[in-house]
Structure 1
């Protein structure tokens, strides 16, 4: 902010004494500090500020979060801090990755009980620690395959051609979501089978 006024200036004179002087010339009072990050503006605090935004739009971009904090707090946070805040908000809303994978067998078993005709096939593998030793009484998620009863019933009305499409999982634990699709009588895509595997490999 440009202004013309009187500014007190503290200067050290030769006698090693401080002297207060007045400057009446035109000067600028602009400060770049407000546009920078703030050390006390932590990602945990930011995550609580953006919790509602992430809940309504989980795909919200990091630049949008940065702009939001700038408008509310007056500081431009770093990209990394905004990213960490978003991950914390997602964890507060949906739980962390470890707990989600731990709850996966219970979720699949519940679907088997309550969804008529639901078919599930899951594979696990031994769990090893960082020293390469097998961890007993624990297994690691490997692959899962599932299909819904309406998909089975609708397959007979589809054209006799199926395709496999896949998309990468971008979470903490990588993998690939595979979907077998067909085309119905209205030329619409009809999903049939779903699977999560390590990649589009021959074994998978």
Structure 2
């Protein structure tokens, strides 16, 4: 039972439902071909199939700048700030002309415009990003006078700051609010 045969069969299953588990793939191959593959082989072939369907991590991160340009073009007034850091080789030396994604901030014009009509408190919520690259998606929200929630800004950041403190998660007052 070679990897190509297993991979092609798993690819069809992953295209239909990427949430299928490794034991499901093992049972399918056993049922279809009368052969039991190892957990490791099934895992590697599922990873291969996911890469075929969605592309790899590096390709996904490489299209971020193009996506952000399109966002600013088709949603005028959108503010975007992306931060990269130098890519390092195995000896921690910078690789010339190569950077990697570090942080991202964006806010839509409509979110910026509604900011003036909201209550004088901004709340920051977060959700963890899972997968090969860890981090957090931060979302700044406010409420208007009728308690409708508006998303103001978004950011993708590392999970912890350089000094080891947890990233922002509590509420902060607006500088112009007059509250103490």
Q: Identify if the C-alpha distance between structure 1 residues 151 and 67 changes in structure 2 by more than 3 Å, giving closer, same or farther.
A: farther
Measure the CA separation in 2 of the matches of 1:58 and 1:195. Answer: 27
**Which shows bigger deviation, 145-154 or 81-90?**
145-154
Cα RMSD after superposing both structures: 2.9
Tell me what 2:172 maps to: none
Map of 1:48 onto structure 2: 8
Tell me which of 61, 72, 79 is aligned to 2:39. 79
Query: Which protein shows a greater Rg?
Result: 1
Give, in whole Å, the separation in 1 of the partners of 2:84 and 2:58: 15
Offset of 1:113 from its aligned partner?
A: 1.4
Match of 1:126 in 2: 86
Q: Does 2:159 match 1:199?
A: yes
Q: Is the 8 A contact 1:117 1:148 kept in 2?
A: yes
Q: Distance in 2 between matches of 1:153 and 1:72?
A: 58
Aligned counterpart, 2:137: 177
> How many pairs are equivalent?
164
Alignment of 1:67 with 2:35, yes or no, is no
The offset of 1:114, in angstroms, is: 2.0
With normalisation by structure 1, the TM-score equals: 0.65
Cα deviations across residues 8-59 of structure 1 (Å, max 9, x unaligned)? xxxxxxxxxxxxxxxxxxxxxxxxxxxxxxxx342x4323212233233333
Match of 1:26?
none
Quote how far apart the aligned CAs of 1:193 are.
2.2
Conserved 8 A contact 1:176-1:200:
no
